[in-house]
Each structure stands twice: as structure tokens, then as C-alpha cells.
Structure 1
Amino acid sequence: MDQSKRTLLKTAATAGIGGLAGCAIPGRASHDTKTPFAVAQPMLPIVGSSEMFPVRRIYCIGRNYAAHAREMGSDPNREPPFFFQKPSDAVQLVPPGQTIDHPYPTLTKNYHYEIELVAALDKGGRNVPLDKALDLVYGYAIGLDMTRRDLQRGMGDQKKPWEIGKSFDHSAPIGPIHPVRSTGHFKNGAIWLKVNDAVKQQANLDQMIWSVAEQISKLSEAFELMPGDIIYSGTPENVGPVVRGDIMEGHIDGLPNIRVKVV
């Protein structure tokens, strides 16, 4: 194994991923673990640090703003929180001050934006009490939950899993992680998305049905949360389509904007 592969695997092990391909031993891999090939660990830069944040899982909450729930055909007063996942390598870094190219995905003719606050965890647990939930948060970022809406709806109509509409390559554009020590926790503040300079989504974070703390507590009832997990916390109303050539700009008060061009 050449030196570059050894370095990559050592980085992955240090980041805490276990059970690399070809490894039958559960738990964390060590730098001596032998595998038939190297697998890159998705990571995001941490603002103000030379360290990187390793992404373990991407959780997303559905229909977490009342107006968005209604536009998707649901009653926000009757629905408990529900979650879905994206693969960790769906992240696409959007550095502040840059406009990055985002590939229009295959199979869809109705490709939608969803602007969201993202919470990044550096601690884990099961059945986390609500008053302890924010202790798990290392930092925050601004992200897009990109969606092949026609595929999502089509699979839903067939009562089949709609993973194909949500969990595809580059479906989670995201800015760098801003540590809580620098930003505090985001409980209110403007969130908006523009497409070609026209405002499409606009709300306040305090309009979330389930707060970040509540999301973490509820998630931990179903999954053991771990360091490296990130949580997309839901999108406001007026989700809609983009086509090649469109430029999306996302904003959350207290975080630098992200800009993404669909190509």
C-alpha cells in the first residue's frame, strides 16, 4: 500500500469511522487495518481552525415549518417529527465568497431547492434529555437539501421509499462549520433563499415546529447519535425548481451566505 493510501486510512480511523470495506471486525479501524482499497472520509472545514469536521451521518427532518408542511399537503398540528437520511458523501462544500458549480442530477425534470440550518454534533448519546440536547452541538452551517421532487413524489404515490428523491450525489451542498463558541446557538434570525437574485424562500428560525434541541432529543430515541453526525433542520415554505444556469444564494443571520450555480 502506498503512502497516500496509508495516510487516508489513518485519517479515516482517527475520525472515528469503523468497519471499513473489507474489515470484518466491528468497531473502529486502526491505521494497521488492511483493506482492499481506500475510502475517503467526507470532511468539512471548521472556521477559525486548521482542523476538519468528519461527517458520519446526515439526518434531515421533514416538514418542520408549518407553511411548508401545508404546501406539501400535511397538517403541521397533527404530525410528529419524522426524519430521513442522506449518505455522508452527499456533502458538497460551498466556501464563503465563492460560487460553486452544482451538477444538475440525472433522472429528474423537477429539481428543487430547500435552504436549511445545519447542526453539527461532536458528542453523542441515546435518549438525550431535551435540556441536555444542545450540549451535543459543536457548531452550525448553512446547507441546501436538494431534492428530485418528481422522483420523491412518484415513489410516495406508489407507497415506496423515496430515498431516490433525496439521497443522491451532491444532494447536500453546505458551508463550513462555525463552532458554537463563536456563534452561539441559532434559535431565531432570518433564513432566506434567492434564485437569480429573486427571493424565493423567507422565514425566521423561530418558526421551526421542532427546535434543534427537540430534533436532537427525538432523533436520539430512534438512533444512537454520534460525533460527526449533522442534522439538516428543515426548510421554510415556497420550495421550487431550478434549472441549469440558475444561481442560488442562501442566507441565515450570523452565517456567511452560500452561492451555488446549477450546471
Structure 2
Amino acid sequence: MQIIDAHHHLWDLGVRDQEWISGPELQPLRRSFTLPDFEAEAREAGVAAGVLVQTVGVPEETPEFLSLAVGSDLIGAVVGWTDLTSPGVADELARLRGLPGGAFLRGIRHQVQGEADPQWLTRPDVLRGLRAVAAAGLVYDLVVLPQQLPAAVQAAAAVPELTFVLDHLGKPAIASGELEPWSTELGRLASLPNTVCKLSGLVTEADWASWTTADLCPFADRVLAAFGADRLMFGSDWPVCTLAAGYPEVVASARALTDTLTAAERTALWSATATRVYRIEGAAANASPSPR
């Protein structure tokens, strides 16, 4: 079965610091994670293509990622960053798409989870930026906390021409097992036809040291019920996932969580949804055998 990894990261601390990697708990991430590192993990798992997602809100990162995509047969799409609040956001998106590798730019993301204002997504300047993203033919990745989901619902309703991709299920409280109010707000977002979701980031919202697949089940089941497999896609969240699990464990847990799906539903979740949403080309040619 073909696998598209719809969410992974790369960074080189020799190029720039990742200021979010601070404190003893995140110390294992305080090293460079490069394209060859990802390729080794992904190819072992039988991944045909990956979606490289932004990590920091600086303008230099996206062109670097686009350049990496040109030289890799494994990066099928890039989700970059630009300042959505800038009056010149449309021009900047056009500039990015004109750079070497610009054709790989398929989405934009901002670290909304770090914004103090829970209504940041509904600000007029942000909504203007989101409309520019839609006009450029791109999608928008949502990295939000549960308390920011209501604003995400409002934004998705206000910009129906834009596809919103929810990263990491909206970061529910898996470690404590609390489903509400996350579950209700997730259902409101899923009711909008221009939304999809990534089955990603579960292990790092669970107890890193003692999580089990059973801990993840209620949250994965809720997302499957809300979005359906044709609006869900697998993402490893590598290397952030390594705080709690290695790449093979993340793939194995996702397989266990989706084992009752039909063959068609599994195809959607593991590859077809990501291929459609991020317009990934040539993935089949890169696929290597992977265990069912």
C-alpha cells in the first residue's frame, strides 16, 4: 500500500536556530534533522512522497525548502510560511511561486498556536491574507490548540474558497483523555466542506513515556467519524514525533488505528487524500514495498 507522509519537518541548526526548541523536555530535538535523515526513515517505511511543512515564521525558510524539493524525489509538496497580515501578501506568494522549486509550494502555514489572541484567525487582515492564499491556488494548514478551534471554524466559513487542513487533530488533550470541548468544536469544523484533517501528532499529545495505541483510539475514532477517510491523511510529524516514538512506531500505530477501514478508505487516508489536497505528482513511481 502506497504511503504519502503528509506532514514532516526538516531543520539545520547550522543554518538557523529553532527557538521553539527550548527546555529539557525538547532537548532531544536540539540537533539538525536533514533531508538524508528523513529519506532514510521514510524509504524504510515505504513512503512514496512527503509534504515538507514550515517550522519557523521567517521568510528565508520557504525558499530553502523549495530548493530542497527540487533536488529530492521524495518531497512532493511544500507548506511554507509568509506573513498573512502583510498588505503585500499576494505579491509575496507570487514571488515564492516564481522561485526555483516554486511549483512545489502547495500550502501556507502560520504558528497560530503561538498567538495569544484566540481569535487571531478572524482578524480582518488575516482573513484578507487567507483569501490571497486561496487566490494563489494554495491550501492553508491550521496548527491550532483546542481553544482556537472556534476561530478556525469562523475563518473556514468566512473563506469557503480556501481548503483548510487541520494539523494534528487540533492538538486534543490525549494525555488526560479529555474529549470535550475539543470533540464538539472538531465536529463543527468538519461540518464545513472546505476542511480536511491530518491523522498526525497524536503521540506527542499523549504521555510520551507510556502512551499506547488504546490511548489514541478515542481521538482517532472521533476524527474518522467527523471527517471520514476521504478527508483524512496520514502524517508522521517527524522528527517532532521522536519525543514519543520512532518513525516505525508512528506508522504502526496509525495502521492499528485504521485497521477496520475498508481497502478504499485506507487508500484515501494513506495516500489519495494527500495526493489530491497537495497535488502531489509522480508519487507512485517513488513507492517502495511496505508491509501491510
TM-score class, shorter-chain normalisation, is: under 0.3
TM-score (norm 1): 0.25
| Larger radius of gyration between Structure 1 and Structure 2 | 1
TM-score (norm 2): 0.23
- Relative to total residues, which structure has the larger helix share, 1 or 2? 2
Which structure carries more relative contact order (alpha carbon 8 Å, separation 6+)?
Answer: 1
